[in-house]
């Protein structure tokens, strides 16, 4: 009897956990049902992948798809459209959004809206702060929650947990890995005059210097050890931090970003101005090279885009009133494929950083690998296709990228979400447009038991009611 599938990807070079091999992939009911030579098997849809590589759908574990507020224009719809256009099939939304995601009601509200808006799968971080430490053990077990996020230094939004006693209390309430933005708030405040001197964005990495990051990273690791809690250091930007963290991988995993691996000071600030402004900042060439060394030696576990879709109008404000952050979810995979073609890392390492690594760090269920029973999420890529990234290609509502006019080798030919082709040849497909392919909450191995009932109380932070 001939096997029949919903979809067959035929003849591609497939990135499996055992290596990159030529294989067919058979999909049934949104999951990988067979892998190998499928011979005469039939399917409703068959895609010829000859000459292409089939990777697991990328997982971007740090995005800021800000809900519409006073100034932000992005929402889950446009943000996730940008994701699937770049081969990203799952995103983790940060909590410094509108409204802040720090209570049970905000989780329920965001999850309800996400199910109707998202074009890819999604999860949300709960923001940890002094006012909600008693809620965190419950919040982190909510369906669709990827964990707790701590801002040790002020960035964008009202969330902040700067004092050691607050951070320790957050770490002591719950069990899942905690993501941390590590910059030392006291040093930021003491050096703010540097940013305000001359309104020059080239002062951004001077104000938020390496010592500011290293102090916070050392504090974070010490507090994690005291609490006995796993942590994940987000967007690590300096060689000094990497040198320290290589000796603490037992308790801390590490992320950096494609922006920090690609751009460097002062060149990017002179060329892009405030569009190159993000927290922590882009640093000089020497730190970029040390970040690459950390990638190549395995210190870095994952890459995240830190996608922050501020509009060009917002970014044009005089520094330091200009908001920090740049787009990245759509360009993350093409930029890393270009680095792969330049010989900076292997394709297997790209897959590890964008797919296998996120699955390991966050214990994601059924994603990040091409193996039987896993979700049929794929990024189908042409490793030799040369393209020029442009602002006009960006699906994010802000409509710009720091990589505008950058020529890259390696491009995403198509994106498949749970067996549905949602993007092909830079066009969003009918399946996505008619919402036959709809985003769903990411599942986590640590939450496969019954989720906790969410707390119903409201919380006030800095004059903002979060409910």
Is the distance from CB of 107 to CB of 101 less than 8 angstroms? yes
Return the minimum-mean-pLDDT range out of 109-113, 130-134, 179-183, 217-221.
109-113
pLDDT of residue 112: 76
Q: Do strands 252-256 and 302-303 pair parallel, antiparallel, or not at all (unpaired)? A: parallel
Write out the residue limits of the CATH 2.30.40.10 domain(s) in the chain: 4-54+374-383+406-437
In words, the CATH class of domain 57-364 is: alpha beta
Q: What angle do CA 169, 175, 177 make, to 5 degrees?
A: 95
What mean pLDDT value characterizes the chain? 92
pLDDT of residue 466: 28
Place of tokens 């191995």: 445
Write out the residue limits of the CATH 3.20.20.140 domain(s) in the chain: 57-364
pLDDT at 169 over 70: yes
Q: How confident is the model at residue 438 (pLDDT cuts 50, 70, 90)?
A: confident
Q: Do strands 427-428 and 420-424 pair parallel, antiparallel, or not at all (unpaired)? A: antiparallel
Strand partners for 458: none
In this prediction, residues 291-303 reach a mean pLDDT of: 98
pLDDT of residue 460: 47
State residue 154 phi and psi, 5-degree precision.
-65, 135
Classify domain 4-54+374-383+406-437 at the CATH superfamily level.
Urease, subunit C, domain 1 (2.30.40.10)
């Amino acid at each position: 009897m001939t096997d029949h599938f919903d979809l067959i990807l035929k003849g591609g070079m497939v990135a499996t956990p055992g290596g990159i091999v030529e294989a067919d992939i058979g999909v049934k009911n949104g999951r990988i049902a067979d892998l190998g030579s499928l011979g005469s098997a039939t399917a409703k849809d068959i895609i010829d992948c000859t000459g292409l590589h089939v990777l697991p759908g990328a997982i971007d574990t740090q995005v800021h798809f800000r809900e519409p507020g006073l100034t932000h224009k992005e929402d889950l719809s446009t943000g996730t459209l940008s994701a699937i256009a770049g081969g990203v099939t799952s995103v983790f939304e940060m909590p410094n959004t509108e409204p802040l995601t720090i209570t049970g009601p905000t989780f329920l509200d965001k999850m309800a809206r996400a199910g109707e808006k998202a074009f890819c799968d999604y999860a949300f971080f709960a923001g940890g702060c002094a006012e909600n430490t008693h809620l965190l053990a419950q919040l982190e077990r909510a369906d669709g929650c990827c964990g707790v996020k701590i801002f040790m230094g002020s960035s964008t939004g009202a969330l902040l947990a700067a004092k050691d006693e607050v951070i320790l209390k957050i770490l002591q309430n719950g069990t899942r890995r905690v993501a941390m933005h590590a910059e030392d708030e006291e040093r930021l405040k003491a050096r703010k005059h540097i940013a305000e001197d001359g309104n020059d964005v080239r002062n951004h990495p001077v104000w938020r210097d390496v010592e500011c990051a290293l102090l916070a990273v050392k504090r974070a690791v010490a507090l994690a050890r005291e609490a006995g809690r796993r942590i994940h250091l987000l967007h690590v930007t300096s060689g000094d931090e990497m040198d320290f963290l290589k000796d603490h991988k037992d308790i801390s995993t590490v992320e950096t970003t494609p922006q920090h691996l690609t751009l460097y000071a002062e060149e990017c600030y002179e060329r892009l101005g405030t569009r190159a402004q993000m927290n922590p900042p882009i640093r000089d060439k020497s730190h970029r090279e040390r970040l690459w060394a950390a990638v190549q030696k395995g210190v870095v576990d994952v890459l995240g885009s830190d996608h922050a879709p501020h509009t060009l109008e917002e970014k044009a404000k005089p520094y330091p009133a200009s908001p920090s952050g740049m787009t990245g979810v759509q360009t993350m995979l093409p930029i890393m494929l270009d680095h792969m073609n330049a010989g900076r890392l292997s394709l297997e390492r790209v897959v590890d950083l964008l797919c296998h690594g996120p699955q390991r760090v966050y214990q994601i269920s059924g994603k990040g690998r091409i193996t039987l029973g896993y979700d049929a999420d794929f990024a189908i890529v042409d490793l030799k296709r040369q393209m020029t990234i442009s602002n006009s290609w960006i699906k994010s509502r802000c409509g710009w990228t720091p990589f505008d006019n950058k020529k890259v080798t390696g491009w995403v030919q198509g994106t498949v979400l749970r067996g549905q082709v949602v993007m092909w040849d830079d066009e969003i497909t009918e399946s996505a447009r008619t919402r036959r392919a709809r985003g769903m909450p990411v599942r986590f191995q640590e939450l496969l038991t019954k989720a906790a009932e969410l707390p119903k109380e409201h919380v006030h932070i800095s004059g903002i009611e979060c409910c």
